[in-house]
Structure 1
């Protein structure tokens, strides 16, 4: 079977996957967006498809929180943005009749709270903080710092970096061997400047600039997915991101088995078998092919000892790392702070806070606090009550009135989310060497999910959808090859 390229997948998808003559029976493990899209395309082509989902809902990390909030308020715990470059996501949004609205991340009132003082991203305001910037950085605003240390390097690495069927060329490989922080320092960035830039990498990097592959970061920052390039056409799913997986699930009624935790996957020359624990017993499903969409962070719970996996695949399963993210949500009686779409990056442990409900009706508001990396891992060790109190106490230091207006709250610790155990992939140096093994099929077992995308980074639903399209193309190619 030939290995499809990124362009092969895009072309086949846009043409309706004409090469997809699917197997008769397929088991899809996981009802995240990759699993849902895979099952949806197979079911509409007549495949006997079974989706096994350990949770009691579809969507995986596309999760919208509606409890314990009042007045119909909700907040996003995972995926939250759709850019014009999210080609695959936009396709399914249109096809399933899901509506879009302007993104909450547009037109924010962004500021820093550092050393006990507020500052905006302009050079004059930052100068008042007395940060230890180097002489060349003094007077620069954050946009200039970003261009000097990030976008200029992206331009230097063209056309390699933005190639449609991109590959790790010799000069790109140099950046895959080094961390983001190392490259920024080598380009002359001070620690203070790196700290100012860091909030703009939160969505991708998980706060681990010290350990993330610089190549993965540069590929992301050169694309339209970069937060620094957010334009007026960035969107969100109207009414909550969970509306999209819900639309898939509605069309897959009867195919999805919830609360079915897969415990074993086997294959031989004649077929594959998937065993799941459900309703107090074990059930084995026979299939011609299996598509595994479970994050590698949680795949250790599944026994693949009789699955004939290659050493490279088994090693990739063990090595792939995921970002640690904790998101805390505090319902406030009313807005007690000044400004609209407020977003604040701090040097306090709670790191970043924002108004998570700028466009939702009613006097109440939800303040979200997002912690990543080592901060998230520390806060994850707390109880839910301790976590809310910890966040409130720090919030009170720069937004007085937080304690007085707090009504209820909740949090999501992605490292401890059952059957997920991580927010999104955090590609470490040498990640490009793992990528072929991560997405490669193993006999009758295929792999999808944002971690198996052609892109060396996570954090976008469209990467998961792309992986589903690639797995579907592989299924068609494999079946065609197997025909006598």
Structure 2
């Protein structure tokens, strides 16, 4: 496959989530012949459209960052431009210290640049602790540091418990005291390396953003649900001649003496010039074990958090809610849910589908919380309703409820994650015609997954030339194939 897209080479993409589908879409643009293998009976991974009480909703991720171009660009390419929708309201709250309080402005992933506007969220002692940051000696971040540990040292534990934890938990379902600042909040990590105090670093980021203000919404959804994006990409892949096989797990990935690849697709044997591995880390480790044991060992060490989404539909006349798009919940307050989205408020298209129905959802589960997710669906609904009643006063009986469980749904980015990813890619790069992509590497959001797919395709575009050069003189690897 040449950079000009004139050569037709066979590429197998393992994984039919948004990263794998984006890779397939891009490969077809470059002139490759593509087969996508997906073990599940559907494509889309963590993006899942559904319905409740006759209203279309998302049962997985519901929005995508619009300030990055990759996901929005892909949506436009596959015909969804006229269905992109900004939130009807983006005003969120924190449910903390017994009340819903407006989410403060002027922070970077919960890290404030000043103590202003934090009264009611933080105690007087917590507010004073922020002000002392400017007088503390500089704290080096080194090659990486945990977000929670660094922020607690500079600004106090309250900032972590009341602000950073709920925001990071909404993205990673993780523990702020384990999550890598370099991987999860890279702009803050870089600013902290060059400023004496943390509040100064945050204000510098805010000043930079003010000098070059972004236009347009921060987030976008899609009418009918973000879960329709992978369906549209899959339709585009098929329309261009790509093959997508669902219910077809991949195994037995091996290098061939000719410099290509052989793998099992269910009961079929496939041969390819190149392979893109776009599955979660455990499945990728199993697939790479023979040909790249070093990459497999690193991938096996990637941990995942599980969570559940509880979607509830009410008669609008019975369900008065506070203003805004929903709220986040600090774990320190001891509640079950970690967030709630007022979906019919946030997305105008949901409200328009049935004006008499109000849809909201809660999320349950963080890294290490296994006991709560062992409860059955009815218990999770009851616990969600209890917390919603305490937070908002909502005491109506829902028309319908749905519980969607995402077991092992979110990869964790602990301190040193960037170095682990670099080692994985170093091992993979030793095997021509092989690339990896997905949420386990450079970000869990939809744009980051699409970007990782684009980068994987870019690596293969040049790498397949090397494959052809190896054909005449294959190098025997200790694992039985040509390569390492």
- TM-score bracket, shorter-length normalisation: 0.7 to 0.9
**Is 1:210 equivalent to 2:203 in the alignment?**
no
Shift of 1:372: 4.2
CA distance in 2, matches of 1:305, 1:193: 39
When residues 422 and 320 of structure 1 are mapped into structure 2, their CA distance, relative to the original with a 3 A threshold, is same
Deviation readout 1:417-472 (Å, 9 max, x if unpaired)? xxxx322x32111112212133333524523333465x4xx222222222222222
Alignment of 1:368-383 (within 5 A): 368-374=361-367, 377-383=370-376
**Is 1:473 equivalent to 2:462 in the alignment?**
no
Tell me the equivalent position of 1:351.
338
Tell me the equivalent position of 2:303.
321
Tell me the equivalent position of 1:42.
27
Tell me the equivalent position of 1:337.
320
Equivalent in 209, 217, 236 of residue 233 of structure 1: 217
Moved more, 70-79 or 229-238: 229-238
Q: Please tell me whether the aligned partners of residues 280 and 440 of structure 2 are also in contact (alpha carbons under 8 angstroms).
A: no
When residues 329 and 298 of structure 1 are mapped into structure 2, their CA distance, relative to the original with a 3 A threshold, is farther
> What is the SS of the residue equivalent to 1:182?
helix
TM-score (norm 2): 0.76
Deviation readout 1:332-360 (Å, 9 max, x if unpaired)? 22262333434223331212112022222
Which runs of 5 or more residues in structure 2 are unaligned?
A: 105-114, 191-201, 470-484
CA distance in 2, matches of 1:20, 1:274: 25
RMSD: 3.4
Tell me the equivalent position of 1:31.
16
CA distance in 2, matches of 1:90, 1:128: 37
Q: Please tell me whether the aligned partners of residues 62 and 225 of structure 2 are also in contact (alpha carbons under 8 angstroms).
A: no
Tell me the equivalent position of 1:103.
86
CA distance in 1, matches of 2:84, 2:458: 32
Shift of 1:96: 1.7
Deviation readout 1:107-154 (Å, 9 max, x if unpaired)? 43433333433333468986457736435258x9xxxx9xx79xxx9x
When residues 469 and 130 of structure 1 are mapped into structure 2, their CA distance, relative to the original with a 3 A threshold, is closer
Tell me the equivalent position of 2:358.
365
Tell me the equivalent position of 2:424.
438
When residues 244 and 338 of structure 1 are mapped into structure 2, their CA distance, relative to the original with a 3 A threshold, is closer
When residues 192 and 219 of structure 1 are mapped into structure 2, their CA distance, relative to the original with a 3 A threshold, is closer
Deviation readout 1:391-415 (Å, 9 max, x if unpaired)? 122222233343x331221222222
CA distance in 2, matches of 1:432, 1:26: 27
Tell me the equivalent position of 1:275.
264
Shift of 1:52: 0.7
Shift of 1:46: 4.2
Q: Please tell me whether the aligned partners of residues 65 and 77 of structure 1 are also in contact (alpha carbons under 8 angstroms).
A: no
> What is the SS of the residue equivalent to 1:73?
strand
Tell me the equivalent position of 1:189.
156
> What is the SS of the residue equivalent to 2:409?
coil
**Is 1:392 equivalent to 2:380 in the alignment?**
no
CA distance in 2, matches of 1:132, 1:84: 36
**Is 1:261 equivalent to 2:249 in the alignment?**
yes
Deviation readout 1:221-247 (Å, 9 max, x if unpaired)? 579xx9x98975222223211232122
Q: Please tell me whether the aligned partners of residues 34 and 449 of structure 1 are also in contact (alpha carbons under 8 angstroms).
A: yes
CA distance in 2, matches of 1:338, 1:79: 20
Deviation readout 1:315-347 (Å, 9 max, x if unpaired)? 211112234332221112226233343422333
When residues 374 and 310 of structure 1 are mapped into structure 2, their CA distance, relative to the original with a 3 A threshold, is closer
Which runs of 5 or more residues in structure 1 are unaligned?
A: 1-16, 158-170, 416-420
Q: Please tell me whether the aligned partners of residues 74 and 357 of structure 1 are also in contact (alpha carbons under 8 angstroms).
A: no
CA distance in 1, matches of 2:121, 2:446: 38
Equivalent in 405, 409, 429 of residue 401 of structure 2: 409
When residues 326 and 375 of structure 1 are mapped into structure 2, their CA distance, relative to the original with a 3 A threshold, is farther
> What is the SS of the residue equivalent to 1:405?
coil
How many matched pairs? 418
CA distance in 2, matches of 1:213, 1:386: 33
CA distance in 1, matches of 2:365, 2:337: 9
Deviation readout 1:290-320 (Å, 9 max, x if unpaired)? 11100104435x45444x2142x12211112
Q: Please tell me whether the aligned partners of residues 181 and 210 of structure 1 are also in contact (alpha carbons under 8 angstroms).
A: yes
CA distance in 2, matches of 1:118, 1:41: 44
CA distance in 2, matches of 1:375, 1:284: 39
CA distance in 2, matches of 1:21, 1:441: 24
Q: Please tell me whether the aligned partners of residues 281 and 440 of structure 2 are also in contact (alpha carbons under 8 angstroms).
A: no
> What is the SS of the residue equivalent to 1:397?
helix
